[in-house]
Amino acid sequence: MVGSQVLSLALTNEAIDKIVVYGRRTCGRSDKKLVEILSNDFLEFPEELKSLLPSVDHVLFCLGVYTGAVKREPFRQITVDMPVALADLHCKANPQGKFSLLSGQGADRTESSRMMFATDKGAVENALNEMYGTSFYTFRPGYIYPIEKRQEPNFSYRLSRKLYPLLKYLGPKFIITSHELGEGIFQSALVHPSTYILENQDILSFVNSTHK
């Protein structure tokens, strides 16, 4: 939902001369500046990817999974292990590189929350912050309203989509569209945010600032 938007913006932006997409399934896109690398097991990084990482200036990590969609162990692996393993390779290959993470509202940096989502998001933020320091940016959206039609993952998301005309009046602290979030994450590779933790309202402010 978000990664596809980030990719679309990168493909059409003249400031980007090369894009490396890594995942388990094809993105279905083709472009002269796009290099797509696939692996059935995300953590088994192909040599082709390793060889390209020294030239990757900025990693935009949008992979994630909904709470309740998988059991505890795979949730932790997707949320924490995958971005940390990729970041470790990237930092060693390009010590000057940067990393932007699609995290979530409520991420607990104390890692003491009873909520799996909050604890794991806090854990991955801590690990990446330790690796990258001020070259790490974490995006913490609230409810993400999907602009494109899709099959909603569960009842709460189906309900939220129907209630969006009302929910948006909660204000910029809680609601963001998939396009706004995608643009914020993409723009962080071009215009570095002034803060490394961007809550929902900060993301919207950052996107607006890039339009000036």
User: Region 101-127: what's the mean pLDDT?
Assistant: 96
Assess whether pLDDT exceeds 70 at residue 154.
Answer: no
In a domain, 75, yes or no: yes
Q: DSSP string of 148-163?
A: S----SSHHHHHHHHT
The boundaries of the domain holding residue 44 are 3-206
pLDDT, position 81: 98
Mean pLDDT of the residues in the chain: 91
Q: Which of 63-67, 94-98, 137-141 has the lowest mean pLDDT?
A: 63-67
Q: CB–CB of 187/180 below 8 Å?
A: no
* Within a domain: 176: yes
Whether 67 has a pLDDT exceeding 80, the answer reads: no
Residue 211 covered by a domain? no
Integer Cα distance of 137 and 98 in angstroms: 8
CA distance 121 to 133: 17
Residue 160 lies in a domain: yes
Q: What is the mean pLDDT of residues 56-69?
A: 89
The whole-angstrom separation of Cα 64 and Cα 122 is 14
Decide: helix, strand or coil at residue 104.
Answer: coil
pLDDT in tens, 70-80: 899 999 999 99
Identify whether 86 is part of a domain.
yes
The reported pLDDT for the residue numbered 1 is 83
Say if CB 206 and CB 193 are below 8 A apart.
yes
> Is 58 part of any domain?
yes
pLDDT (mean) for 75-102: 97
Residue 79 belongs to domain with CATH number: 3.40.50.720
Residue 174 lies in a domain: yes
pLDDT > 70: percent of the chain: 88
Q: Is residue 212 part of a domain?
A: no
Number of separate domains in the chain: 1
Return the bridge partners of 147, or none: none
pLDDT of residue 170: 67
Global confidence as pTM:
0.90
